[in-house]
Structure 1
Amino acid sequence: MVFILQIEGTLNALLKQEDTDADKKITIEDNGPKAFSIKSVEGKEYTLKGTYHLANLLQELVIAKNEGETFAEIPLHHIEELPATRVSRMIKDYFWDGLTRTMDEQGIEKLIHDSKNEELISSKLRIYVPFRDQLAFQYYKNLEVSLPIEVIQLPENVTPQYVKSINSKPGILSLKLEKQNNKIKGVPFVVPGGRFNEMYGWDSYFESVGLILDGKVHLAKAMADNFQYEIEHYGKILNANRSYYLTRTQPPFYSSLIREVFEVTNDKDWLKSHLQTAIKEYETVWMVKGKRLTKNGLNRYLAEGVGMPPECEKGHFDAVIKSFAGKAGLSIEEYILKYDSGEIRNETLDHYFIHDRTVRESGHDTSYRIEGNCADLNLVELNAMLYKYETDFAELIKHEFEGCFEAYTTSYWQQKLESRKASVNKFLWNEEEGLYFDYNAITNSQSKFIGASTLAPLWAKMCTKQQADKLVKNSLSLLTEKGGIAGSTKESRGEISDSRPARQWDYPNGWAPHQMMIWKGLFNYGFKREAQELIYRWLYMITKNAADYNGTIPEKYDVVEATHKVFAEYGNVGTDFEYITQEGFGWMNASYQYGLSLLNNNFLESLNRLIAPKELFE
């Protein structure tokens, strides 16, 4: 049944009756009658009941309104759609489009109105272009005539000192452009959403998992092409394509991305090109001794740079600066200015900011697992990711290039991964605890912080079966909560107070990349029952929150309470919208589609009926 509704009148009446807190959403916190009669222009009437159905009507009306319509043809089956089915359809049909960007003329016009640009004193969007990309430089210079942009060519050698010098003039970094029918077009990329309106490193991989499942392999391929551009022109896969991220990379997933794209496209020329670049990134970013490679043969994160991370909001470091400012007889603001200019030298702060930038490079910003010592740590997940690189290189060269690729052989990479596995077993595996722990390469000691990262070796297939059995038995009982896997145990996080605030990657919060890696890892070792339970817990939490809160799909969740209401630093991106979310959140969207692809049909039926996990698993 289809209802033809007059949009504006129906929308106003619906909000007046049901949106009692005037936030332009219909949620379980509104106190309306929870019943609304719709009247079609041809006289049909139907009464919708309950928050979920009323919020669906609001969303469908706004979708039609955004398309410039006066009347909306709304199928009743969209309003009364099963909740899991609806979340998945909205992701596939709307959210990915809402998150897709380009760095060509059309895309630049949107970036001019980006919140990060609007915060700047300059009325122009600065676009930084690599020294060797003359196509991009000339293209953007031509746009200076018609758009409020300022094009700046980066020097041939970008140093940390140079990056610091432009921190007061932040801008966007160009990505790949290509000629199509004599026109220059930007290679598209998918952003996380909200204030994260640029291409991020590890977000892009997880988003691509969902994109491939939703039949959008061209976008996943484009993400890899932009990764390749970043490696060739900026020397690394960037934290994100902003000028202040030029000295910082992110967790390495490039080999996984190109392998998964190739499995769909079978484009061997494309694979060859990207395999060359991925090996280059492995050798030049990760395996340089004294930088991200430590003496014990394992890896660490090490974000280069000088001074305070400029992307942080005002006041973020006040607690750190306060004591130094007091001793100097200065206000915090004065001390920061003098420290930033070099007038005041402070080795303690220099050391602190090395670790702080490195926390951000790790993607886990922030967590008490790595706060204050991140650059000293061989992290479990990083070494699992690089083991996955070595495995991917070995297997791709064996199966697609007859065992030899340029100067590299399958046996070369096999030796690399076996060596890493031996080092991981020596330094990161704890046989007594049956868990993997981060290792401090300076103090030569294991951390005892238990985080979701302890399960990353399952994802990389780095465990023996005996290790996997122990790991799953010991870790899931510690980390499983109502809504899935928590970022850490409560005990590892420690007590929270005004002087020791909650960190967003710790208990009680849960994150999509952790869940996705853990699910795959459990399947790798045959733990199907455990995987199904964790997938269901996560998807139920997302589905129930979306049904109760007008389709909300946020950045992260409190998995202990199974809610999107997260009370930690930075808030929760994806919750601030009116009428309808246009984007969801990138890796959250992907986790939903990935989870559904793995979930047994009987659990999918339960999910659509919103049967709580405790009724199925407890």
Structure 2
Amino acid sequence: MQRKVVLVLAALLLCAFDRAPPTPADLYGPLFEAVQLGRLFKDGKTFVDAVPKRAPQAILEDYRRTAPSGEALRAFVEANFQLPPETAVPSPQNKDRRPLLRHIAALWPHLKRPPLTPPPGSSALGLPAPYVVPGGRFREIYYWDSYFTMLGLVQDGQDALVDSMLADFESLIERFGHIPNGTRSYYLSRSQPPFFTYMLDLVGEADPATERRRVAALQREHAFWMAGAGCLDASGACARVVRMPDGSLLNRYWDDRATPRDESYAEDVATASASGRPKEQVYRDLRAAAESGWDFSARWLADPQSLASIRTTGIVPVDLNSLLWALERAISRRCVFLADVVCVREYEGRATARQAAILRYLWVPGEGRFGDWDRGSGAVTPVVSAATLYPLFVDLATPEQADAVAALTARLLVAPGGLRTTLLRTGQQWDSPNGWPPLQWVGVIGLSRYGHEALARDIAGRWIGTVEQAYRDTGKLLEKYNVEDRLPGGGGEYPLQDGFGWTNGVTRALIARYPDLHRH
């Protein structure tokens, strides 16, 4: 019975995309293309976050009738839309340089938002409870960012806000069958790395009724990722599911659309045009990389120096499959609490099969690392990245594998200012020289879990020092950092953002874990 319910739910999820609210590209068609391809605004996210002042269909009819261009087009847009502010929060710069921990605590009210009922025509998705945004151009709640933000909220006693964000995420799963990349209509066709189960772990066990609701949400999220299992064909892949050579099932990143991203429309059109490949495939791979959170990285590129070579959907990633294994284990564990024997058997079996497949296909014994499997070559890619630490973070690796990964991390991935993302300099933001807050936490916790406490502490100290130095220099906490030179980070499709949710959260949690590493 349990398996039948899951299969039915998976089939329904495959159809859910048809019921998603329209995106700005859907609503405005030629007007949208004119604005985005004409680069009317420096940031492609500006127009898609704008709110129409009247019915979208009426605006579109007037546009078709008048066909404005150039300055007239900008005037038309400004007359018909309420444009968003350039940033979501007042500048967090602190000229007096109050102590770092006080500054982080002072940032939470700036990043907090009340429950949201979107105005008509807005791309925003409604949320029933208060939540925290990352900051800068990111005006909405984001999925995987929020787990790392919550780490700091817990340390600063913001438990009620963590609870309300969990309520928001449960609401999203109930309405849409998954947690989207972010709470915008144009993000609904994809998710992000599934950290919801780790968010729930921050608040501990609850009464049986609450636990049943949580288990149902986790099962529905799992069904979203596994929905493609019902449509696998000779190609060996469907949606987010991949059949491995031995018949086992693993997962990949995907997006339900194969069009340019609304928020990066002009950039995606240019990348696809330069690729010499079918444009729909390039669009899908760009979108899938956005689902990964690593947008963009050499992990997804056939040619590390060319974004046009992106092939995300051809990669079976180690981080995603580690998190899905953790999700399966978490569902089984919670079902033990509920005395649901059928559920325990179902998800424990899934976790056992996934672990065997990960250890068979995503482990490179000769190099002592975990990596991403390339469906084209039938082997793990040569890209060494901090994603190798995910099996340690979720407690999937064997002790011997963890020892080997720790040695590789110390030798290759530890930089002066923290943990490197990859070893390659490509100009993409998820490559060297950048280091990112979530990867520092994954690395520190994973290494510590397997007894490599000295290395974990060393990485934490390097990262805390980098954040402190940049704070002294700029008065800001930033989205990412150059861990080679201990400077603000660079690269990517948009300017460096400050605020910043997951930097605040991870840095605050690391200082709580290693208080003696904090200088002030």
TM-score scaled to structure 1, two decimals? Answer: 0.63
Q: Please state if 1:374 is matched with 2:374.
A: no
For residues 233-272 of structure 1, what are the structure 2 equivalents within 5 Å?
233-262=175-204, 266-272=206-212
Q: Which amino acid aligns with 2:453?
A: K
CA contact (8 A) 1:513 1:591 kept: yes
Q: Does residue 359 of the first structure (1) align with residue 289 of the second (2)?
A: yes
Which of 368, 374, 392 is the matching residue for 1:434?
A: 368
Shift of 1:270: 2.5
CA offsets, 1:6-60, max 9 Å, x none? xxxxxxxxxxxxxxxxxxxxxxxxxxxxxxxxxxxxxxxxxxxxxxxxxx99656
Residue 395 (structure 1) shift:
2.4
Distance 1:322 1:380, change over 3 A: closer
1:424-446 deviations in Å (ceiling 9; x for gaps): 01110011111011012344222
* Distance in 1 (alpha carbons) for counterparts of 2:274 and 2:227: 38
Q: Specify the SS of the correspondent of 2:467.
A: helix
Decide which of 414, 418, 423 is 2:352's aligned counterpart: 418
Distance in 2 separating the partners of 1:368 and 1:226: 33
2:427 is the counterpart of 1:457 = no
**Aligned ranges for residues 451-530 of structure 1 at < 5 Å?**
451-490=385-424, 493=425, 496=426, 502-530=427-455
SS at match of 2:278: helix
1:401 aligns with 2:338: yes
SS in 1 for 2:204: helix
Q: Could you tell me the percent identity over the aligned residues?
A: 29
CA 1:567–1:438: 2 relative to 1, 3 Å: closer
1:514 alignment partner, SS class: helix
Q: In the alignment, does 2:506 pair up with 1:564?
A: no
Q: Counterparts of 1:594-605 in structure 2 under 5 Å? A: 594-599=509-514, 601=516, 603-604=517-518
Shift of 1:568: 4.5
- In 2, the alpha carbon distance for the partners of 1:99 and 1:432 equals 46
Give, in angstroms, the shift of residue 279 of structure 1: 1.0
Aligned-pair CA distance for 1:369: 1.1
CA distance in 2, matches of 1:242, 1:545: 31
Distance across 1 between alignment mates of 2:318 and 2:312: 12
Residue 311 of structure 1 corresponds to 263
Q: Determine helix, strand or coil for the equivalent of 2:120.
A: strand
Helix, strand or coil: the match of 1:298? strand
Aligned pair in 2 of structure 1 residues 505, 323: CA closer, same or farther (>3 Å)? closer
- In 2, the alpha carbon distance for the partners of 1:480 and 1:98 equals 33
What is the distance in 1 between the residues matched to 2:93 and 2:296? 38
The one-letter amino acid of 2:153's match is L
Structure 2: which amino acid aligns with 1:467?
Answer: Q
Q: Does residue 457 of structure 2 align to residue 532 of structure 1?
A: yes
**What CA deviation, in whole Å up to 9, does each residue of 1:443-485 have, x standing for no partner?**
4222111111011111010111011001110133111101101
Question: Residue 324 of structure 2 corresponds to which residue in structure 1?
Answer: 386
Q: Residues of 2 paired with 1:600 and 1:101: CA distance?
A: 30
Q: Distance in 2 between matches of 1:57 and 1:429?
A: 44
Q: Distance in 1 between matches of 2:511 and 2:343?
A: 38
Q: Do the aligned partners of residues 58 and 401 (structure 1) sit closer, same or farther apart at CA in structure 2, a change above 3 Å counting?
A: closer
| Distance verdict in 2 for CA 1:428–1:378, change over 3 Å | same
| Equivalent-residue separation in structure 2 for 1:447 and 1:395 (angstroms) | 33
The alignment status of 1:448 with 2:461, answered yes or no, reads: no
What is the distance in 1 between the residues matched to 2:158 and 2:271? Answer: 45
Distance 1:440 1:388 in 2: 22
Q: Using a 3 Å threshold, how does the CA distance of structure 1 residues 558 and 317 change in structure 2: closer, same or farther?
A: farther
AA paired with 1:537? R
Q: CA deviation at 1:323?
A: 7.9
Q: Is the 8 A contact 1:294 1:441 kept in 2?
A: no
Q: Which runs of 5+ in 1 are unaligned?
A: 1-55, 61-78, 109-126, 128-148, 152-169, 177-186, 325-346, 497-501, 575-583, 609-618
User: In the alignment, is the contact (CA less than 8 A) between 1:262 and 1:268 conserved in 2?
Assistant: no
Q: Deviations for 1:180-233, whole angstroms, at most 9, x for unmatched residues?
A: xxxxxxx01111101101011101111112111211122112222111111111
Residue 150 (structure 2) pairs with residue 215 (structure 1): no
2:486 counterpart SS class? coil
Distance 1:276 1:57 in 2: 42
Greater share of helix residues, 1 or 2?
Answer: 2
- Give the distance between the partners of 1:514 and 1:385, measured in 2 at CA: 14
> Are the aligned partners of 2:296 and 2:492 in contact in 1 as well (CA < 8 Å)?
no
Given candidates 195, 217, 233, the residue that maps to 1:277 is 217
CA deviations over 1:521-565 (Å, ceiling 9, x no partner) = 11111111111100000001101111122x210100011011115
Is the partner of 1:276 in helix, strand or coil?
Answer: helix
Q: Distance in 2 between matches of 1:568 and 1:397?
A: 42
CA distance in 1, matches of 2:299, 2:442: 19
* Aligned residues of 1:262 and 1:271 also touching (Cα < 8 A): no
Decide whether aligned partners of structure 1 residues 58 and 257 sit closer, same or farther in structure 2, where only a CA change above 3 A counts: closer
Task: Give the alignment's TM-score, normalised by structure 2.
Answer: 0.75
Tell me the matched-pair count: 409
The C-alpha deviation readout for 1:253-285, integer Å capped at 9, x for no partner, is 11111122225xx45433321121111110233
Q: What CA RMSD, in Å, does the superposition of the two structures yield over aligned residues?
A: 2.2
Q: Which residue of 1 aligns with 2:21?
A: none
SS at 1:463's partner residue?
coil
**SS of aligned partner of 2:179:** coil
Instruction: List runs of 5+ in structure 2 lacking aligned partners.
Output: 1-91, 230-237, 302-309
SS in 2 for 1:294: strand
Tell me how far apart the structure 2 counterparts of residues 568 and 244 of structure 1 sit (CA, whole Å).
Answer: 20
Match of 2:26 in 1: none
Instruction: Measure, in 2, the Cα distance between the counterparts of 1:420 and 1:274.
Output: 22
User: Structure 2 matches for 1:66-81, cutoff 5 A?
Assistant: none
Q: Match for 1:99: what amino acid?
A: L
Distance between the aligned counterparts of 2:209 and 2:125, measured in 1?
Answer: 27
User: Are positions 1:587 and 2:517 aligned together?
Assistant: no
- Contact in 2 for aligned 1:259/1:392 (Cα 8 Å): no
Q: 1:269 to 1:88 in 2, by over 3 A?
A: farther
Structure 1 pair 475/58, CA: closer, same or farther in 2 (3 Å)?
closer
